[in-house]
A and B are shown apart, each in its own frame.
Chain A
Amino acid sequence: MDIIAQLFAGLSLGSVLLLAALGLSLTFGQMGVINMAHGEFMMAGAYTAFVVQGVVGDAGVSLLVALPLGFVVGGLLGLLLEATLIHRMYRRPLDTLLVTWGVALVLQQVARDVFGAPNVDVSAPAWLSGAVEIGGLALPRTRLFILALAAVCVVALALALRATPLGRRIRAVVQNRDLAEASGISSRATDRVTFFIGSGLAGIAGVALTLLGSVGPTLGTNYIVDAFLVVVAGGIGQIKGTVIAAMALGLMQAFFEYSTTASVAKVLVFVAIVAFLQLRPQGLVSVRTRSLA
């Protein structure tokens, strides 16, 4: 009984991590950009949900409106960041790190000035409140919704990368930029679109997070470290690895936490990741390319 409850808790935590890390697996994993402002794009998505709820009123409708809108808001912020700063430093990862961290701080302060320092609340729609009872086990509806949302995002992203011309261009640029350019693909345009999608996914994650916690200027900082861990442990550049790593981390955290405490569980998860990366520095799944980069 308890084991099943924890299994669900773990998968559900994993799906939250997955939503937070999915966009990052594109921008960091595929493009190699260390974007510390990724968490702030999530925060922007969360505030989008807050604003939409203020305008629309009805919690159910506003959630459905906020999801695509959060994608667009996150994506546009990412596009702006890419066009103004990041494209100048594709070969300087450490500089990107510092610059995007600065951008993250600026965005946090902007949120504080626009929406005020105290946290705001986005109410969940009635059809997501409470829990579904299955054999004496209460599964919170919000958690089920986030699991489903994460699954939809993964499938949509995988399909987009595999089956569309855009996806083929993205993969081509990731695997061998020079050859892709020689084949007539505009790598600048492809970079922009990739960054738009990756940042947009952060926006969706932000909207989803409003169902679990409150919305505040520092919302993103709670997730950015975990998101990077998922992508690094999963293997740079592979969505499959990201999915497996997110679920593994979620399950580990849930089961360690059940048998010890939340703080100890966090430490154990970190230790496990460090040990794992010692054995497999390239992560769970790695791309084998012939590129020199």
Chain B
Amino acid sequence: MRLRSTSRNGATRLSTVSLAALCVFALSACGARVDAGGAPSASAESCVDTSGDTVKIGFLNSLSGTMAISEQTVHDALELAAEEINADGGVLGKQLEIVSEDGQSEPTVFAEKAGKLITSDCVAAVFGGWTSASRKAMLPVFEAQDSLLFYPVQYEGLESSPNIFYTGATTNQQIVPALDYLVEQGTKSLFLVGSDYVFPRTANKIINAYAEAHDIEIVGEEYAPLGHTDFSTIVNKVKSADADAVFNTLNGDSNVAFFKEYNNAGMSADDMPVVSVSIAEEEVGGIGVENIEGQLTAWNYYQTVDSPENTAFVEAFKAEYGEDRPTSDPMEAAYTSLYLWKEMVEKAGSFAVDDVTAAADGATYDAPEGKVVVNGDNHHIAKTALIGKIGADGLIHTEWSSEEPIEPDPYLEGYDWADGLS
């Protein structure tokens, strides 16, 4: 009897240890604490040194951790832009000197490294960030130190900091045009699938408001935890709901599992197209072209955009990093952000933050995606919306375009149906 109970305790202890291990593991996996712990409270006196032949700028991307896959490509695009600008004589005659920091896919690290770049490296501006969590963590640092951040990724809107320039799309330049396109195609019902965090939830709030005003029925709204890989239940729900189209805000690996399951369940782009806002050229290869061919995406840039500026950009990028590397929207937005900063600085004739911000309004650049213009009020840029179709070649081809650049409206103030969203 005694022996038996001992052995049972042994088993209990083992399971306790392993459960403790699981807790540790789970905590570390989603330990994205968002606080501005890195914000130093030192004075906001700028220490940027512009007396020599060079000026320092900071690149802050995740070069390790889960976001490294995406952010490395943005980093490469920034490096390319800096190289080109330097070869072309620099900014205001000064060569750019790059200080690179690794955000390690952790918002707190982003805040900390941003503080370091501003106060100890004394950079004139910082370029980078990807997740909204990293941007939200850096925001108070840039405001306290009165320095500049250029953020190159599409995001959920509802933000406008005087110290940040947003060169990716806000919602009215990506999600709203995608919905306009669907309405144009005669879509009457939508199924929403997204990852369970801030961007999809905010995006779907906007989509619900839009749907109500435009007579679209939302027949289902499903969220999967980040990293979720079993989509049989969600696909079953999508299938039985039988909507006209699916709006997909899933992020990362989940997309692969979702699309494989979607096809295996016998559905295709012909009977229920899926519009995705987080799948760019980079991701298509990982998902497998055969799984996603014919599906739709909403962005502001594709590698296939037909313009001399884009041809030059794609050629330069491939020459630098290899023929097999595609270019995508966030990379192009990052590349553009450096050139836009150059425009602003040269317009202002100064590297000082106040002068640059004052000169920002109306700064233009002929970007690979087309002409972009900075809005001085909300610090976003006017961009053309493009709906694309994923082709058999793994590239995305423009199916529909807003033709004109759309003025940024991060709070959706110009849309009646969006009243009460923010």
Q: Which residues of A contact B (CB under 8 A)?
A: 2, 5-6, 8-9, 12-13, 16, 28, 32, 34, 36, 93-94, 97, 101, 112, 117-121, 123-124, 129-131, 138, 140-143, 211-214, 216, 218, 221-222, 224-225, 228-229, 231-232, 235-237, 253-254, 257-258, 261-263, 266, 277, 281-283, 286-293
Q: Which residues of A contact B6 (CB under 8 A)?
A: 292
CB distance from A60 to the nearest CB of B (A): 15
**A235 to B229 CA separation, bound complex (whole angstroms):** 25
Q: Which residues of B contact A232 (CB under 8 A)?
A: 15, 18-19
**A230 to B393 CA separation, bound complex (whole angstroms):** 42
The answer on a CB contact under 8 Å between A123 and B260 is no
Q: Which residues of A contact B240 (CB under 8 A)?
A: 2
CB distance from B193 to the nearest CB of A (A): 10
Query: Which of A2, A141, A235 touches B236 (beta carbons < 8 Å)?
Result: A2
Query: Which of B12, B229, B236, B239 touches A222 (beta carbons < 8 Å)?
Result: B229
Given contacts A140-B265, A263-B225, contact A282 B12 (CB under 8 A): yes
Given contacts A2-B240, A118-B286, A221-B29, contact A13 B230 (CB under 8 A): yes
Query: Which of A32, A117, A129 touches B264 (beta carbons < 8 Å)?
Result: A129
Q: Which residues of B contact A235 (CB under 8 A)?
A: 11
The answer on a CB contact under 8 Å between B69 and A117 is yes
Query: Which of A9, A93, A119, A262 touches B286 (beta carbons < 8 Å)?
Result: A119
The answer on a CB contact under 8 Å between A141 and B287 is no
The answer on a CB contact under 8 Å between B288 and A291 is no
Asked if B227 CB lies within 8 Å of chain A CBs, one says yes
**A228 to B19 CA separation, bound complex (whole angstroms):** 8
The answer on a CB contact under 8 Å between B21 and A36 is yes
The answer on a CB contact under 8 Å between B234 and A117 is no
Q: Which of B248-280 contact A (CB under 8 A)?
A: 253, 256-257, 260-261, 263-266
Q: Which residues of B contact A257 (CB under 8 A)?
A: 233-234
Q: Which residues of B contact A (CB under 8 A)?
A: 3-4, 6-8, 10-12, 14-15, 17-19, 21-22, 25-26, 29, 66, 68-69, 72, 196, 222-225, 227-230, 232-234, 236-237, 239-240, 253, 256-257, 260-261, 263-266, 282, 285-288, 290-291
Interface centre among B227, B256, B260 (most CB of A within 10 A): B260
CB distance from B83 to the nearest CB of A (A): 22
A-B interface contact total, Cβ < 8 Å: 163
The answer on a CB contact under 8 Å between A97 and B66 is no
Q: Which residues of B contact A130 (CB under 8 A)?
A: 264, 266
Given contacts A129-B264, A212-B260, contact A34 B196 (CB under 8 A): no
Query: Which of B8, B18, B260 touches A286 (beta carbons < 8 Å)?
Result: B8
The answer on a CB contact under 8 Å between B232 and A9 is yes
**A58 to B7 CA separation, bound complex (whole angstroms):** 51
The answer on a CB contact under 8 Å between A262 and B196 is yes
**A130 to B261 CA separation, bound complex (whole angstroms):** 10
CB distance from A175 to the nearest CB of B (A): 10
**A168 to B288 CA separation, bound complex (whole angstroms):** 45
Chain B residue at minimum C-beta to C-beta distance from A16:
B230
CB distance from B78 to the nearest CB of A (A): 17
**A106 to B7 CA separation, bound complex (whole angstroms):** 35
The answer on a CB contact under 8 Å between B286 and A213 is no
Given contacts A138-B265, A141-B264, contact A216 B286 (CB under 8 A): yes
**A34 to B348 CA separation, bound complex (whole angstroms):** 61
**A30 to B71 CA separation, bound complex (whole angstroms):** 42
**A121 to B227 CA separation, bound complex (whole angstroms):** 17
Given contacts A119-B286, A121-B286, A214-B286, contact A224 B25 (CB under 8 A): yes
Can you name 10 A-B pairs with beta carbons within 8 Å? Answer: A16-B230, A34-B21, A212-B229, A213-B253, A213-B257, A214-B256, A225-B22, A235-B11, A282-B11, A288-B7
CB distance from B364 to the nearest CB of A (A): 33
CB distance from B328 to the nearest CB of A (A): 11
Chain B residue at minimum C-beta to C-beta distance from A97:
B21
**A181 to B39 CA separation, bound complex (whole angstroms):** 61
Q: Which residues of A contact B68 (CB under 8 A)?
A: 112, 117
**A262 to B266 CA separation, bound complex (whole angstroms):** 22
**A266 to B256 CA separation, bound complex (whole angstroms):** 20
Given contacts A131-B266, A141-B264, A212-B257, contact A118 B69 (CB under 8 A): yes
Given contacts A9-B232, A232-B15, contact A225 B253 (CB under 8 A): no
Q: Which residues of A contact B10 (CB under 8 A)?
A: 293
Query: Which of B22, B228, B239, B285 touches A118 (beta carbons < 8 Å)?
Result: B285
Q: Which residues of A contact B236 (CB under 8 A)?
A: 2, 5-6, 9, 258
The answer on a CB contact under 8 Å between A121 and B287 is yes
Given contacts A94-B17, A117-B69, contact A140 B256 (CB under 8 A): no
Chain B residue at minimum C-beta to C-beta distance from A236:
B11
The answer on a CB contact under 8 Å between B25 and A143 is no
The answer on a CB contact under 8 Å between B8 and A277 is no
**A237 to B229 CA separation, bound complex (whole angstroms):** 28
The answer on a CB contact under 8 Å between A34 and B17 is yes
Q: Which residues of B contact A292 (CB under 8 A)?
A: 3, 6-7
**A254 to B233 CA separation, bound complex (whole angstroms):** 6
The answer on a CB contact under 8 Å between B72 and A117 is yes
Q: Which residues of A contact B196 (CB under 8 A)?
A: 262-263
The answer on a CB contact under 8 Å between B25 and A281 is no
CB distance from A132 to the nearest CB of B (A): 10
Q: Which residues of A contact B17 (CB under 8 A)?
A: 34, 93-94, 97
